[in-house]
Amino acid sequence: MQKMIFFAPRQVFASSEDPTSHFQLMKRAIEELEGQKRELYSGMSTQFFEFLASTLLPKLFYSYRENVGQAFREKCISIIDKVLAVLPDAVAIEKIDPVSLAQLVNQILATGTGQQVLIALQIASRTLRSNALKFVIPFQREGASQVIMDFTDSERAGLAAKFDKEEI
């Protein structure tokens, strides 16, 4: 008995670079949503930002310290970074406790994963840029500056060793 084999037409997926592909459509939608969110935040009052700095941030610091799950911690730091990004400089200077922020950055640098360290460095650079005078001393006292220096030293040493090997 002869068997009939039917072939279905091959499904063709649009490449990710194609502007009509699902990936590009989704990317555009997300970018649009992020833009709309930024617009929303730009219209918020100072009281709202003060609330973020004085109430939400300390609670996030505490949640980060209390939970040891890496995915949770990564999300927590990411939120802290987002909050610091939307805060106006004046509110950040007035309302953020520099010691607890320096302790958090130090803790992340000491125990965090690569991604967490990256976000912690971003947080450090963001706060130091907004007001170096207020944040530098707590960062030095808590040891965060030293850890960052050690990072850069070890990175330099690694690069030097790499160049030596290539020369050999």
Binding residues for another protein, rule: CB under 8 A, are 22-23, 25-26, 29, 33-34, 36-38, 40-41, 44, 48, 51, 55-56, 58-63, 66-67, 72, 75-76, 78-79, 82-83, 85-86
- Min separation Cβ 84 and another protein, Å: 10
Which amino acid makes up residue 156?
A: R
Q: How many other CB atoms are found less than 10 A from the CB of residue 117?
A: 19
Instruction: Identify the three-state secondary structure at position 65.
Output: helix
- Min separation Cβ 67 and another protein, Å: 6
| DSSP one-letter code for 136 | H
Report d(CA 74, CA 115) in Å as an integer.
8
Report d(CA 7, CA 108) in Å as an integer.
55
Q: Which two tokens stand for residue 141?
A: 């006292």
Side-chain half-sphere CA neighbours of 18 within 13 A: 8
Question: Smaller CB distance to another protein: residue 38 or 162?
Answer: 38
Question: Smaller CB distance to another protein: residue 54 or 131?
Answer: 54
- Min separation Cβ 56 and another protein, Å: 5
Question: Smaller CB distance to another protein: residue 51 or 128?
Answer: 51
- Min separation Cβ 38 and another protein, Å: 5
Question: Smaller CB distance to another protein: residue 63 or 136?
Answer: 63
Report d(CA 150, CA 168) in Å as an integer.
27
Question: Smaller CB distance to another protein: residue 113 or 140?
Answer: 113
- Min separation Cβ 55 and another protein, Å: 6
Phi, psi (rounded to 5 degrees) for 37 = -65, -45
